[in-house]
C-alpha cells in the first residue's frame, strides 16, 4: 500500500514538472505585426478581417450539432433491439427520448428555434 502511494506521488510530481516545462517553453516572446495580420497576397489588408456574424446563426448551429450527435446515438439503439433485453432496451430508449423532448421544449420555450426576432 505504501509502495502504491509513493508511486502515485512520483507520477504526480513528474507530470507537474512536465506540464510546467511545457507551459514555460511554449510561450512566444516575439510577436511580429506581419505574422499576426491576415494574409492578402503580401499587401496590407484593406479592411478588418474580423467580420461580425449573427449570434442567432451560431446558436442554431450548436443546436443542430447537438441533435446530430443525438441521432448518432439513437441509430445504434435500433440495431441492438434484437440482441438485447427488450425491457432494458425500452426503458433506456424511453428515458433517452424523454430527455430529448425536454431539451427540445426548453429550446422552444427560450425562443432559440425562432429565426426572425
DSSP string over the chain: -HHHHHHHHHHHHHHHHHHHHHHHHT------HHHHSPPBTTBPPSS-S-----HHHHHHHHHHHHHHHHHHHHHHHHHTTTTS-HHHHHHHHHHHHHHHHHHHHHHHHHTTT-S--
Q: Which three cell numbers stand for residue 45?
A: 489588408
Q: What is the pLDDT of residue 44?
A: 61
Say what percent of the chain tops pLDDT 70: 76
Name 19's bridge partners. Answer: none
pTM of the model: 0.49
Q: Is the pLDDT of residue 117 over 60?
A: no
Q: What is the pLDDT of residue 70?
A: 84
Q: What is the pLDDT of residue 25?
A: 83
**Which position has the higher pLDDT, 53 or 100?**
100
Mean pLDDT on 71-79: 86
Amino acid at each position: 500500500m505504501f509502495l502504491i502511494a509513493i508511486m502515485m506521488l512520483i507520477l504526480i510530481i513528474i507530470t507537474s514538472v512536465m506540464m510546467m516545462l511545457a507551459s514555460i517553453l511554449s510561450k512566444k516572446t516575439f510577436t511580429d505585426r506581419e505574422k499576426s495580420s491576415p494574409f492578402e497576397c503580401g499587401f496590407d489588408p484593406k479592411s478588418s478581417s474580423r467580420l461580425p456574424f449573427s449570434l442567432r446563426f451560431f446558436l442554431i448551429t450548436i443546436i443542430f450539432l447537438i441533435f446530430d450527435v443525438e441521432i448518432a446515438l439513437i441509430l445504434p439503439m435500433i440495431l441492438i433491439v434484437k440482441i438485447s433485453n427488450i425491457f432494458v432496451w425500452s426503458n433506456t430508449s424511453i428515458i433517452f427520448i424523454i430527455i430529448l423532448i425536454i431539451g427540445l421544449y426548453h429550446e422552444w420555450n427560450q425562443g432559440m428555434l425562432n429565426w426572425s426576432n
